Structure 1
Amino acid sequence: MVIHTEPPEAADSYRADYAAGVERFIKEQNTLAKQARTAFMPPEDFPAKIEHYREMFLQMLGTSRLPDNGSPQLKQEFSDADDVCSIYRVTVTVLGCIPFYGLLMVPHSVSGAAKSPLIIAQHGGGGTPELAADFHGKNNYGHLIQRLLARGAVVFAPQLLLWNQGETFDTCPGHKVPYDRTVTDVNLKRMGLSITGLEIYCISQSVTALSALDAVDETAVGMAGLSYGGYYTLYTMAADTRIKSGLACGCFNDRDCYPWQDMTYFQSGTTFQDAEVAALCAPRRLYVSIGEKDPVFTFQTALPEARRVKPYYQAFGAEQNFVFETWNGEHTVNPAPDGFDFLFSAFK
């Protein structure tokens, strides 16, 4: 019996055509999806329906499927004190089994009966609370946490499932604690959840626990972050209306251009991408910043997405409460004070 044989590449032109066809289809669908998002959430109807859309957003992330955790348990351990603040390692027990960890830093200027804003400071990919707080030396956070502490805020810096497991770099130490974020996200999405939705829930539970501290003004909660931290700032603020002000750095963009697995959700292309999520922060104060030399998220693709946010804030008569800036910098926090001034202006 003679069986046909041929070189492996003989049909590669057909495979190339097929792959190109799938890419063309996705590009066409992305174009249609932009139109669908506008029809899905028209700005003129938005103020009256914002809570309806917020519930749909929480359903997309899976956060609304998580049970009521009641009063989350806070464990607080004193670690050290430096010239700026007292440092505590804290865990908030979430869903009865997750010890959500973070650093709590209380400036020495906070004393007696005085209460201060609580700012959630979120690290980015490969990061930790300690790295963002300058505990390990050189990093790309632009002294984010130290700048918040200098303004008298109580700072909570949570640890997300994002620390660096690889080799140590001069700006990012490695940690020999294994995890697989992709597998975790896939397993959660099989149950209608997501890693982003779960971690947003953990952050919100931490706000509940920390708001009971004597030093914290529970009516003055803000959030700031870089890279993944900027993404979580945007999405957590959209989910939790107790967060009155946000500073999201180095991440806001057109998700069609960055289809990362853990930033993608069922039907998010036709419902909620960064512009719609930013709209859910309205009319609260939101400052979005991206460097014009950022090698991770290009600012050019962020510009049209930012323009789509403005009509939602205008619908509330609060156009001044949304600021989008590009600046002459890379993947870091702008050293200029404008974003921090804007963040804290909500608490005057």
Structure 2
Amino acid sequence: MSNAGLPQLYHPFLTDAGLETDILFNRGIDLPHFASVVLLRTEDGRRALEDYFTGFLKLAERMLIGVILESATWRASPDWAGPLGLTDPELDRLNHEAVQMLVRLRDTWRSAVPHIVVSGCIGPRGDGYDPGRIMRVDEAELYHRHQAGVLVAAGANMLSGITMTNVPEAIGLTRAAQELGSPVAISFTVETDGALPTGDRLADAVKAVDDATAAYPAYYMINCAHPTHFASVLEPDMAWTARIRGVRANASRCSHAELDAMTELDIGDPAELAAQYGDLCRRVPTITILGGCCGTDLRHVTAIAEACLGPAVTNE
């Protein structure tokens, strides 16, 4: 599927919420190293994932809108095999099954939901809050190429680089996707000042990736930050801002350091968060892909969808 074949470039879309925080805190299922891919090892885990995604498919059906399903592979790149107690082939198999689960759900829901896009989710090599050691572009391309290839071969319509913390890694992942001929979206995480954890301005990061890859990403997103952290840096009517098509915000206003120290989930105020999304979408109308990140769940995304797109259709 070329970028032109992605329906979310032409229509408003939903995506999911904070998968890992929902599974861990709301459903009480342990996730070693915050890796949801391990759920695919058991029948109970697979059932929990299917139940999670089905909630968003039902919402998309009620809203008469398309949905992007992100595979449970954010923390499933090669470096995580050892910490998760997996061999490399076992991790590859789980990556493959994560996409295949979504393909089956897409086939089941095809007649009920206008458009369903299966996205292969790729997280940063290290931590989603801290860039740590920053790879060279060629190193990042080589590192991410393996997982990207497994996800594409499994049937993903596109790839998404979620919580990218630095520019070289985002460029490397984009080039890996380009080599595979797969569309890719790059989602940056930002701090409370709206800048990347490296200190790079969001505008500069978007421009740098576009300049280095002939603007290959289908679009950019922002995730793992609260709207109050980044709304002020989005400049309406600027070319770089028009490249931001999606938002997956945190429920909490807390900084990443504060969130790391928490032992309980901060779900914020879903109604307030939805109102902030509504304001953001009115200011930056190119933002049409709506979902959530840490601390959010189906309640938040439902409120966001209704604030930005109107009330859901009901059969009552």
TM-score by length of 2: 0.35
TM-score by length of 1: 0.33
Q: Which has the larger radius of gyration?
A: 1
Hey, which of these two has a bigger chunk of helix by percent?
2
Hey, which of these two has a bigger chunk of strand by percent?
1
